[in-house]
Chain A
């Protein structure tokens, strides 16, 4: 029997839609991910909204593996109504790091009502592949990310401050590839903000994450 790619994609998708137990759902999602078919991307994104964390985790892994190919659909299919699904989408976008996500990440980090979304977006802002942008576009984009992350590092929610510190650490690291001058400016701003957080943040675990970031940045400076 010859099975074309299109046929097997729709079979795998059907298995997901018809899964009648959480265990079957997870297995069906895994099967679609293993098949590595681009036609499955929209369904994997739909799975993020099924309220099954295990299935969503598998789908996120699959989407991240597709990388840039998954980004346009992820951006189009962001679920306005289901913040759980939205948070998973942002986790996938954060891990992929495609700069096309920048505007959406900035907006979500600042404005989304769901903390889980804002955390994922904060982390995503640190992880963008700036070198996919043109040379002139890189520094302004990094500046926008920096401003939002600095603002989030003041948030009343400790976990958002924590995510912002992770984002700032990663921003310092990923921006180190761009021109020396602009990377230094960012590094200075980030280093200063981390020092301030160490002095002033009321939460011990947030301060501990600052120490971890400071250690990482010190290693960066000596390299």
Chain B
């Protein structure tokens, strides 16, 4: 298990295998069958497992799309855990047949289903979902405050920003900018990151670098994740010298280089890329 995954704000540690599992390793056939098992914990694990291991199998996509309508697996607060895992898994399986069903999920009462759907839509890369992502941001900061008594915002704006960033939807820039001033720091950082990717304007990368100075350890780590995902190479020295454990910094710098390579025409050993790796060398 890697210590962290990109900029994912959904803590996606492997769910613990359910007690009723017979200890046999899952196969695709078994996992598909488990999606309909009366034991909802088996369903939940199967959905996660399929996302991780079943790429390229249309039957799996069909079954997960069905699972987006599951009614059996509920939390006390009315959430839909199986739907969440199914939505997450569909983002990893690269099949755009999931796009319309995932768009429907944006209306689900469960915030985490909405967020998983938005993130997965970004991963699937279909520009058809851009209007829906823009709609999530359209209420601005006011419509996306923390919900009283819940640990999440009223709208999944971070996931929407991540999706718009993945889709290179530059028309989203004016809608994302207000979130630079959102009261929750993590949302500000996500906005800065997305804006850098969409505009390549250094000022947004610099916001993340500057924020490092005053941040506590928890926020520092979030900033490094966001700097890494931004691909803003000039932020590399700030990452390397941050007061955070070396292993974390190595991963952030790797993410930085990967994000950068995704944003350039030709992947090559530029002096800037070599500079990042020299910093990584020093942290080993």
Interface residues of A (CB under 8 A from B): 53-54, 91, 115-116, 119-120, 122-123, 158-159, 162-163, 166, 204-205, 208-209, 211-212, 215
Contacts and interface: CB of A to CB of B under 8 A. Distances in A.
B195 interface: no
Interface residues of B, number: 19
B258 A204 contact: yes
Closest 10 CB pairs of A and B: A119-B284, A211-B269, A123-B284, A163-B284, A205-B254, A205-B257, A166-B281, A209-B277, A53-B245, A212-B274
A59 B257 CA distance: 30
Given A53-B244, A54-B243, A205-B258, A162 B280 contact: yes
B4 interface: no
B243 A53 contact: yes
Nearest to A209: B277
A63 to B, nearest CB: 16
Interface of B: 243-247, 250-251, 254, 257-258, 261, 267, 269, 273-274, 277, 280-281, 284
Contacts of B246: 53, 116
Nearest to B274: A212
Contacts of A91: 284
B257 A208 contact: yes
**B267, B269, B273 interface centre (most CB from chain A within 10 Å):** B269
Contact of A215 (B244, B254, B269): B269
12 contacts: A53-B244, A116-B247, A120-B284, A158-B254, A159-B254, A162-B280, A163-B284, A204-B257, A208-B257, A208-B269, A208-B277, A212-B269
Given A54-B243, A116-B247, A162-B284, 20 more contacts: A53-B243, A115-B247, A119-B284, A120-B284, A123-B284, A158-B254, A159-B250, A159-B251, A163-B284, A166-B281, A166-B284, A204-B261, A205-B257, A205-B277, A208-B273, A208-B277, A209-B280, A211-B269, A212-B274, A212-B277
A159 B267 CA distance: 20
A67 to B, nearest CB: 18
**A115, A119, A205 interface centre (most CB from chain B within 10 Å):** A205
**B246, B247, B261 interface centre (most CB from chain A within 10 Å):** B246
**B273, B280, B284 interface centre (most CB from chain A within 10 Å):** B284
Contacts of B258: 204-205
B284 A204 contact: no
A84 to B, nearest CB: 8
B265 to A, nearest CB: 15
A119 B247 CA distance: 10
Nearest to A118: B284
A56 B277 CA distance: 23
A122 B244 CA distance: 22
Contacts of A122: 284
Nearest to B270: A208
B250 to A, nearest CB: 6
A23 to B, nearest CB: 11
